[in-house]
């Protein structure tokens, strides 16, 4: 009966030229109607203030609001209408399902959107193994057979792979990643902008959204005690592990960027040793990234089964595993200067980094990009006059 009703609704919508909602979007719209009448969770995060500005939820509204949610679980544990109640309100799960759909729908090129469903731990590890093997073969063929894999090269790792060859290998992958993510989020931005007042970005809105992103403001639960993981107890672990991961990644990225810059300065040729800036940034960043991702992995294994979308767990774990492998192989390389293990460790590290960047546009990294875009639009929208006038932001 329900299916017939849904089909009739879709047929009317198509006849009127309206955009038809997918099943996960329809479910978010249904739950938000209940929340809009209840409003108990108004202070928890950005989702609820954004919701109160609307009486109807179109496709773009749902995409915008779903990407404001970061699955902290607070509204599920607070909800009197959560399962087993017949209303079956589970906002984190419904939002996560729509987020997964938006990543695939806005992927560039569109044909590769399917990769989100296939991006799991097995694929990630197979990619690292394949790339590592390819690099090991290249070293063996270029050197003196297998002996080339176990010796201390002159000139550090640039003695194995010259700098320009590394740039030639990694620059296309990196540029493609930036292009794919950039074009995907641009389409998302264009769709949600009219639904979020259409007003342009302002400096105060940008500053507020940047602050929310950099501090992971909403992972404090709105009261500072944290969010939820395996049960209804508050924890700050998720916020801390996200911070260690994010800033660790940024420090590692800074280490590579500074080393590239140094490489072209005549007075600062590679390789670098302590206490050089690339070495320090890489060491601190690698330790932070390794601890953060180990913590996120542990939290992910213990996560409450009703939080989020179980179908996306393989994608989440693949991203965490790739970051962890990148960090730990980088740290091993960091300490292996002048050792015979350098060629093996270098190939493993480069394989992990390349797999990480190659899968970035079609994996969990998209969450950070789309969420930032939604937070920016939220910061803009909340500065506009309230369209309904029932609640102040
Ligand atoms: S999640 Fe539940 S408690 Fe929170 S606003 Fe929605 S209906 Fe109310
Ligand atoms: S799960 Fe957390 S972030 Fe998502 S809507 Fe609920 S309270 Fe907000």
pLDDT above 70 for 356: yes
Does any ligand 2 atom lie closer than 6 A to the CB of residue 66? no
CA 93–ligand 2 middle distance (angstroms): 10
Does any ligand 1 atom lie closer than 6 A to the CB of residue 81? yes
- CA distances to 219, 273, 329, 343 from 21, rounded to whole Å, are 29, 57, 44, 52
Lowest pLDDT segment from 142-146, 256-260, 272-276, 333-337? 142-146
* pLDDT band at residue 14 under the 50/70/90 scheme: low
Per-residue buried b or exposed e for 222-242, using 16+ beta carbons within 10 Å of the residue's own CB: beeebbbbeeeebbebbbbbb
CA 81–ligand 1 middle distance (angstroms): 7
**Predicted pLDDT at 170:** 92
Q: Starting from the CA of residue 378, give the closest ligand.
A: 2
* pLDDT band at residue 220 under the 50/70/90 scheme: confident
Give the atom of ligand 1 at the shortest distance from the alpha carbon of 75.
Answer: 1
* pLDDT band at residue 104 under the 50/70/90 scheme: very high
CA 62–ligand 2 middle distance (angstroms): 14
Does any ligand 1 atom lie closer than 6 A to the CB of residue 40? yes
- For the residues 91-112, what does the mean pLDDT come to? 93
pLDDT above 60 for 337: yes
Does any ligand 1 atom lie closer than 6 A to the CB of residue 75? yes
From CA 57, how far away is CA 39, in angstroms rounded?
16
**Predicted pLDDT at 100:** 93
CA 217–ligand 1 middle distance (angstroms): 21
SS3 content of the chain, % helix, strand, coil (to 5): 70, 0, 30
pLDDT above 50 for 347: yes
Does any ligand 2 atom lie closer than 6 A to the CB of residue 45? yes
CA 92–ligand 2 middle distance (angstroms): 6
CA 74–ligand 2 middle distance (angstroms): 6
**Predicted pLDDT at 372:** 97
pLDDT above 90 for 260: no
235 DSSP β-pair partners: 227
- CA distances to 81, 151, 158, 336 from 344, rounded to whole Å, are 55, 9, 14, 10
* pLDDT, tens digit, 9 for 90 and up, residues 371-390: 999 999 999 999 999 888 65
- For the residues 25-45, what does the mean pLDDT come to? 95
Burial class (CB in 10 A: 0-12, 13-18, 19+), 326: buried
Nearest CA to ligand 1 atom 3: 79
Give the atom of ligand 2 at the shortest distance from the alpha carbon of 92.
Answer: 1
Does any ligand 2 atom lie closer than 6 A to the CB of residue 75? yes
Closest CA to 340 of 153, 149, 151, 139: 151
pLDDT above 90 for 284: yes
Q: Is the Cβ–Cβ distance between 355 and 135 less than 8 Å?
A: no
- For the residues 178-194, what does the mean pLDDT come to? 97
Q: Ligand 2: which of 62, 91, 374 to mutate, judged by most atoms within 8 Å of the beta carbon?
A: 91
**Predicted pLDDT at 119:** 76
- For the residues 100-128, what does the mean pLDDT come to? 88
DSSP string, 326-384: HHHHHHHHHH-TTSTTHHHHHHHHHHHHHHHHHHGGGSTHHHHHHHHHHHHHHHHHTTS
* pLDDT, tens digit, 9 for 90 and up, residues 134-183: 999 998 888 777 777 888 777 777 788 888 888 899 999 999 999 999 99
**Predicted pLDDT at 273:** 80
Q: Is the Cβ–Cβ distance between 364 and 316 less than 8 Å?
A: yes
Q: Is the Cβ–Cβ distance between 356 and 327 less than 8 Å?
A: no
Q: Is the Cβ–Cβ distance between 48 and 41 less than 8 Å?
A: yes
**Predicted pLDDT at 392:** 45
* pLDDT, tens digit, 9 for 90 and up, residues 288-316: 999 999 999 999 999 999 998 999 999 99
Joined together, the tokens standing for residue 78 give 């607070």
Domains of the chain: 117-194+219-367 (1.20.950)
From CA 197, how far away is CA 203, in angstroms rounded?
17
Give the atom of ligand 1 at the shortest distance from the alpha carbon of 48.
Answer: 5
pLDDT above 50 for 199: yes
From CA 56, how far away is CA 30, in angstroms rounded?
10
Q: Starting from the CA of residue 93, give the closest ligand.
A: 2
Mean pLDDT across the chain = 90
């Amino acid at each position: 009966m329900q299916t017939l009703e849904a089909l009739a609704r879709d047929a009317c919508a198509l006849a009127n030229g309206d955009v038809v909602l997918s099943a996960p979007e329809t479910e978010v719209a249904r739950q938000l109607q209940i929340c809009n009448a209840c409003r108990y969770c108004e202070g928890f995060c950005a989702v609820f203030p954004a919701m109160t500005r609307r009486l109807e939820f179109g496709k773009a509204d749902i995409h915008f609001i779903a990407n404001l949610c970061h699955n902290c679980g607070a509204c599920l544990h607070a909800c009197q209408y959560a399962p087993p109640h017949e209303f079956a309100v589970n906002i984190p799960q419904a939002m996560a399902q729509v987020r997964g759909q938006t990543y695939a729908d806005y992927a560039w090129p569109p044909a590769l959107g399917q990769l989100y469903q296939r991006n799991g731990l097995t694929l990630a590890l197979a990619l690292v193994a394949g790339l590592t093997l390819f690099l090991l073969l290249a070293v063996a063929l270029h050197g003196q057979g297998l002996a080339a894999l176990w010796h201390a090269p002159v000139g550090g790792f640039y003695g194995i792979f010259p700098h320009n060859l590394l740039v030639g290998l990694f620059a296309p992958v990196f540029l493609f990643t930036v292009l794919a993510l950039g074009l995907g989020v641009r389409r998302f931005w264009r769709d949600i902008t009219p639904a979020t007042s259409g007003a342009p970005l302002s400096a105060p809105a940008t500053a507020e959204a940047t602050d929310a992103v950099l501090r992971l403001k909403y992972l404090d639960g709105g009261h500072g005690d944290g969010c939820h993981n395996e049960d209804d107890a508050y924890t700050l672990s998720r916020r801390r592990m996200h911070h260690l991961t994010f800033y660790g990644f940024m420090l590692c990225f800074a280490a590579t960027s500074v080393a590239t810059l140094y490489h072209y300065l005549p007075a600062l040729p590679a390789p670098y040793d302590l206490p050089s800036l690339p070495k320090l940034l890489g060491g601190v960043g690698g330790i932070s990234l390794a601890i953060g991702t180990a913590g996120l992995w542990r939290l992910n294994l213990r996560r409450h089964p009703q939080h989020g979308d179980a179908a996306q767990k393989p994608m989440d774990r693949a991203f965490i595993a790739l970051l962890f492998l990148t960090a730990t192989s980088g740290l091993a390389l960091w300490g292996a200067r002048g050792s015979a293990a350098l060629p093996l460790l270098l190939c493993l590290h480069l394989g992990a980094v390349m797999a990480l960047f190659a899968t970035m546009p079609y994996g969990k990294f998209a969450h950070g990009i789309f969420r930032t875009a939604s937070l920016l639009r939220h910061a803009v929208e909340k500065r506009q006059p309230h369209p309904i006038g029932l609640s102040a932001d």
